[in-house]
Amino acid sequence: MFETICAMAAALFGFGSRIVTDADLQRVYEQAKTPYKYGVVLRGAGGDMVDCPQVFRHRGRWYMTYIRFDGAGYDTWLAESPDLLAWKPLGRILSRRAGRWDAEQVAGFTSLHDPRWGGSAALAKHAGRYWLTYVGGALKGYETDPLSIGVASTTNPASAHEWQREDRPVLSPADADARRWERLTLYKSCVVHDRHRRLGAPYVMYYNAKSQNGHERIGMAISDDMRTWRRYGTDPVIDNGSGISGDPQVVRMGDLWVMFYFGAFWRPGAFDTFAVSRDLVNWRKWTGPDLVAPSEPWDRTYAHKPWLIRHRGVTYHFYCAVGDEGRVIALATSKDLRSKPARR
């Protein structure tokens, strides 16, 4: 019925290229589903909590940025792997800076990943440098409000060294143009390079944000230079009515844009799901089975905060798991790899 209505609307109003059909959603699900839980792949040292994995490939090696909470605040770390399964921490890439706006929170997320599903998984450069965005804040504690978004860059993303940061946040809940749904805290962001400049700029950021009522939604901003950002649109692009919709990752799957994100508390628990778009602005949400959800001792509380890549015909779904091992990073896959070595 939905597809019939969409077809009629397209004929009347000429926006057929923007329609996402039931078949499109199912096609994405078949590519992204990861029913085989490989298990925990990264733990924090000394009981520290680790979170928000993002994976990229650089000069034939796999790397993961992730964030660590040590009881006082966040910092950002780098790990390395030969095969996407065994991970070795290399060291810190963003440290807290006393007396600055990011004195107690600095949670980083690499930008400009190759968006192609099954592509290189490499990071692209802008102005000769690699970039990340990060959540920063001046107060101690677990994600203590308010939090803003900053940017940093480097010439070598595969080395555990401090990335060079801009002096001030690029987006803040205190900005004069902050929208009603983002006036308390800004959270994790994902930046993609749109070579066609569909929205008037080459760089598009998606991020979740919170208002005073605690409800988190996902919205957009755009940039010409990675340093100066302007908000796009008035309303969020993902809003599930209550709870949390957060931690977006955007990829290009054929002719579709796909946003993986996590949901929490608008139905029980925390879980990973997705939405699909043809124009980067209008997103249709999947309502079928979760991509990952609690089922094992290590993720029985939460299974959420997705990062998915497709490599050699296998989908690897890294996520934050909370259960009997604390807050750790786990992996689920589209094929059972528990007894088989992964191909590089």
Q: Are 25 and 289 in contact (CB under 8 A)?
A: no
Q: Which residues of the chain, if any, have pLDDT below 70?
A: 1-17, 339-344
Neighbouring residues of 201: CB distance < 8 A, sequence distance ≥ 6: 194, 222, 223, 224, 230
Q: What pLDDT shows up at residue 5?
A: 40
22-32 vs 2-13: helix crossing angle, rounded to 10 = 120
pTM: 0.93
Q: What pLDDT shows up at residue 11?
A: 33
Q: What pLDDT shows up at residue 340?
A: 58
Q: What pLDDT shows up at residue 77?
A: 98
Q: What pLDDT shows up at residue 338?
A: 84
Q: What pLDDT shows up at residue 18?
A: 78
Q: What pLDDT shows up at residue 4?
A: 35
- List the chain domain ranges: 34-333
Return d(Cα 274, Cα 17) in angstroms, integer: 20
Number of H helices, E strands in the chain: 2, 20
* CATH node for 34-333: 2.115.10.20
